[in-house]
Amino acid sequence: MLDVSTASFIPRKITGPQEAAAVLAAEGAAIMTGLPDEETAVAMGRAIMGDRAVRCGTQFEATKESGRVEAMKMRAQPADRRGRKRDAGPAEERMVAHNDGFAFGDYAPDHLFLWCERPAASGGDSFLIDTARLLDLLAADPGSTALAHFCRTVDIDHSEPNYPQGGFSPIVRRTPSGRFQGRHHPYLAPVEGPLESEHWTYVRAWQDAVVAARDSGPMFRVGPGEMICIDNYRVLHGRDGHSDPLRKVCSIWGWSQDAVAIPDGPLDIVVPRIPMAS
């Protein structure tokens, strides 16, 4: 199987918002240190987006308990007519690599800031996958060029079960503002129709490539007061399993003028309705 481990990477530590913005643009992620509280972390997220910042705020606090409650609410929701069912998985499991806000399609934030208040006593290490790099690796491999072509050209369904997004788009695309976007989450599916089963082959191959990048690449530990700053369009993230009830990470979502669409208000990840276009 193709070696895709180099699509996973450990972000560099940087010192100020301008440097963060430059490293984010070039490498897709960076780590900011010395942020003592959530308010400072949110302000730093906004500063990194600079003049182009539109919205920035804490979307949710990830703890073992909040994850458990969220997962319980999702499990109470029915499967969709294709049998797809929402399932967030327990804290003890390694996460599926994803872009945050994937349920909201074009309204997903283009920036993500994961501020660590308290790491897990053990486990819970982070991973990042650069989808631009992963696509390059696939495109350069004779056995994977068809997959790379599919990812770039064929519309798929990026919605979560029962929460349609009103449109379809390829796994990888250039946004109108010129940003690279590569997407992955647990519920990717082909568009329904005569080509569905053929397209499943490629969607599953993309999922396999992302899992391979996650499990063969490096992971890293984030300390208290550190924040992973992520190009949420280009880079997938997640964490390893842990069982520490005291671990706390804030997921701060940022929309800049580069975002494809910007919601007017807060988004609900338990009931992810797509905002009305305004």
Give the CA distances from residue 145 to residues 29, 50, 128, 148, 206, in Å, rounded to whole numbers and listed in that order: 27, 38, 23, 5, 12
The C-alpha atoms of residue 147 and residue 149 are separated, in whole angstroms, by 5
The C-alpha atoms of residue 151 and residue 137 are separated, in whole angstroms, by 13
Based on CB atoms, which residue is closest to Fe ion, 183 or 199?
183
Structure tokens at 155: 């519309």
DSSP 8-state secondary structure symbol assigned to residue 110: S
Q: How far is the CB of 92 from Fe ion (least distance, A)?
A: 17
Q: How far is the CB of 146 from Fe ion (least distance, A)?
A: 30
Q: How far is the CB of 201 from Fe ion (least distance, A)?
A: 27
Based on CB atoms, which residue is closest to Fe ion, 114 or 137?
114
Helix axes 17-27, 38-49, angle to 10 degrees: 60
Q: How far is the CB of 114 from Fe ion (least distance, A)?
A: 7
Based on CB atoms, which residue is closest to Fe ion, 59 or 144?
59
Q: How far is the CB of 100 from Fe ion (least distance, A)?
A: 4
Give the count of alpha carbons within 13 A of 36, CB side only: 0
Based on CB atoms, which residue is closest to Fe ion, 148 or 213?
213
Give the nearest residue (CB) to Fe ion. Answer: 100
Give how far the C-alpha of residue 140 lies from the chain's centroid of Cα atoms, to the nearest Å: 24
Based on CB atoms, which residue is closest to Fe ion, 3 or 87?
87
Based on CB atoms, which residue is closest to Fe ion, 95 or 209?
95
Q: How far is the CB of 22 from Fe ion (least distance, A)?
A: 24
Number of H helices, E strands in the chain: 6, 12
The H or E element containing residue 216 is helix 196-216
Q: Rule CB under 5 A: which residues touch Fe ion?
A: 100
Return the amino acid letter for 203: V
